[in-house]
Amino acid sequence: MKVVIVGAGEVGFHVASRLAHENKDVVVIDKDSDAIRRISDNIDVQVILGSGSSPVSLEDAGIKEAEILLAVTNSDETNLVACLVANIISPYTKKLARIRNADFDKYHDIFRDHAPHIDTLINPEIEVVKTIDRLMNMPGAVDVGKFANGSIKFIGINLDKEARLAGSRLHEIPAILGKPSPLIAAVIRDEELIIPSGDDRLMPGDLVYFISEEDKIMDTLRIFDKYAEPVKRVLIVGGGRIGSRLATLLDDKPVYTKIIEKNPDICAKLAEKLNKVVVLHGDGSDQGLLNEENVQEMDFVITLTNDEEINILGSLLAKRMGARKTITKISKFSYFPLMTMIGIEQVVSPRLSAINTILQHIRRGKVLSSISIKGEQAEFMEAVALETSEIVGKPLKNISFPKGALVTSIIRNDNIIIPSGDSIIEPDDRIIIFATRQAIPKIEKILTVKLEYF
């Protein structure tokens, strides 16, 4: 499968790297020679120096043979033009574009049905706001994703030192709890991903990923000694695109919200749009202002400025001044592993969510969604079990699953089954598979292989 990516920024780089790992043919176009060099030095893809919206570059990149075009430059206009040009040169190439301007929100469907026929418009900012909303309602969660239209969620939490389960082996958990253990899919310890077996222990400080049905989430979180606390007061730092979207969302909720923004013009616009939310003009890292605005009483401080260093420092400052929880927006992936170390728990990244959306559309077969977990080492994939696929009709233990992959749940007629070795997947079941990066190509093959040949 050939994929042409326009834009070698952070999103383009990471999507290219992921796809190259999965042995797909990738061509990246960018007009910045440094960005191009970074790609060609690190990833096994073809690179083309030139503007992604130019027909010449697109033809050089072989757009005619490409199955998918991804337009992910920083400029909405370039992305749109790239799709438009591609639509003329190669009408059958599937097109995905990242469009961030909120003005286009209503036009997503129009762009799909009319020229430039963009199959998917990605606005990571919408996703990020949704993620923030989920994180606020989920005590202790550092990572949340949903499947099956939200009826199943996977949640990542940091295991506290005092937690009951800290130090116990997985097979001992039912005895400790007196009820079946939640399905633990993965543990990240010292930046390394572990798929635990019954003999593995949960250690304090682990980032534990588990799967739960929507209505049992609070019970499951209690198992890990995480208790829900209602969110009443929220402080948003940064009134950019994400900040204003979030403020608008909270405006209608019974949450007392304040938003701090440095730029007076943006403040004026925010005040125009928002009703209940208090708009403050000032610097989010100004201790005096934070004090004045009772930061110590805040349930959540959410830092969403465009400067990640300010976000990190702002969150740390707020935490030290007594805010209960913080959520920090970070774009640079290299910062992710540091976050737990410096005491920042919850992180959101528009880029990571853009990557998730993109990958979901690139996956072969009947993959409905796929979500990378922190650090991109592994992915949760939701897929429909095709009648002709290898996994259907025999007990799970008899299926030769690649190492590093695990069927975490089966959804059949709205019932959720947590599978054991004897469970049998039936046609049209929806399954949620957890797979490490190495195992993903094999999983894709298992899900689709027979479809291709019969």
| Residues of the shown chain interacting with another protein in the complex, contacts defined by CB under 8 A | 2, 20-21, 23, 25-27, 33, 40-47
What is the separation of C-alpha 281 from the centre of its chain, rounded to a whole number of angstroms? 31
Q: Is the CB of 247 or the CB of 443 nearer to another protein?
A: 443
> Cα torsion for 373, 378, 384, 387, to the nearest 10°?
-170
Rounded to a whole number of angstroms, the minimum distance from the CB of residue 374 to another protein is 17
Phi, psi angles (nearest 5°) of residue 414: 70, 0
Q: Specify which residues 435 forms β-bridges with.
A: 379, 405
**Token pair 């009483």 in the structure block, residue:** 297
Q: Which two tokens stand for residue 60?
A: 């050089």
Q: Is the CB of 70 or the CB of 396 nearer to another protein?
A: 70
Rounded to a whole number of angstroms, the minimum distance from the CB of residue 437 to another protein is 9
Q: Specify which residues 410 forms β-bridges with.
A: 417, 431
Q: Name the DSSP class of 390.
A: T
Rounded to a whole number of angstroms, the minimum distance from the CB of residue 67 to another protein is 12
Rounded to a whole number of angstroms, the minimum distance from the CB of residue 42 to another protein is 7
Q: Is the CB of 45 or the CB of 97 nearer to another protein?
A: 45
Strands, sheet with 207-213, edge to edge from the N-terminal-most edge strand: 141-147, 152-158, 207-213, 183-189, 192-194
| DSSP per position, 321-353 | TT-SEEEEE---GGGHHHHHHHT--EEE-HHHH
- Spell 33-59 as b/e; 16+ CB within 10 A means b: eebbeebeeebebbbbbbbbbbeebbe
Type of residue at 110:
I
Rounded to a whole number of angstroms, the minimum distance from the CB of residue 194 to another protein is 14
Q: Is the CB of 139 or the CB of 404 nearer to another protein?
A: 404
Rounded to a whole number of angstroms, the minimum distance from the CB of residue 417 to another protein is 34
**Token pair 């469009």 in the structure block, residue:** 99
Number of residues that this document lists for the chain: 454
Rounded to a whole number of angstroms, the minimum distance from the CB of residue 12 to another protein is 14
Q: Is the CB of 240 or the CB of 441 nearer to another protein?
A: 441
Rounded to a whole number of angstroms, the minimum distance from the CB of residue 32 to another protein is 12
Rounded to a whole number of angstroms, the minimum distance from the CB of residue 405 to another protein is 17
Q: Specify which residues 154 forms β-bridges with.
A: 145, 211
Strands of 304-388 (E only): list them. Answer: 325-329, 346-348, 367-372, 378-384
Give the whole-angstrom CA distance, residue 265 versus residue 256. Answer: 23
Rounded to a whole number of angstroms, the minimum distance from the CB of residue 44 to another protein is 5
Q: Name the DSSP class of 180.
A: P
Q: Is the CB of 231 or the CB of 373 nearer to another protein?
A: 373
Rounded to a whole number of angstroms, the minimum distance from the CB of residue 46 to another protein is 4
Is the N-terminal amide bond of 116 cis, ω within 30° of 0?
yes
Distances in Å between the Cα of 111 and the Cα atoms of 18, 107, 127, 429 are: 27, 6, 19, 32
Q: Is the CB of 42 or the CB of 151 nearer to another protein?
A: 42
Q: Is the CB of 37 or the CB of 112 nearer to another protein?
A: 37
Q: Is the CB of 46 or the CB of 388 nearer to another protein?
A: 46
Instruction: Provide the 10 A C-beta neighbour count for residue 171.
Output: 12
Q: Is the CB of 42 or the CB of 306 nearer to another protein?
A: 42
CB-based contact 8:52 (threshold 8 Å): no
Q: Is the CB of 57 or the CB of 285 nearer to another protein?
A: 57
Name the packing angle between helices 124-136 and 350-362 (round to 10°).
Answer: 110
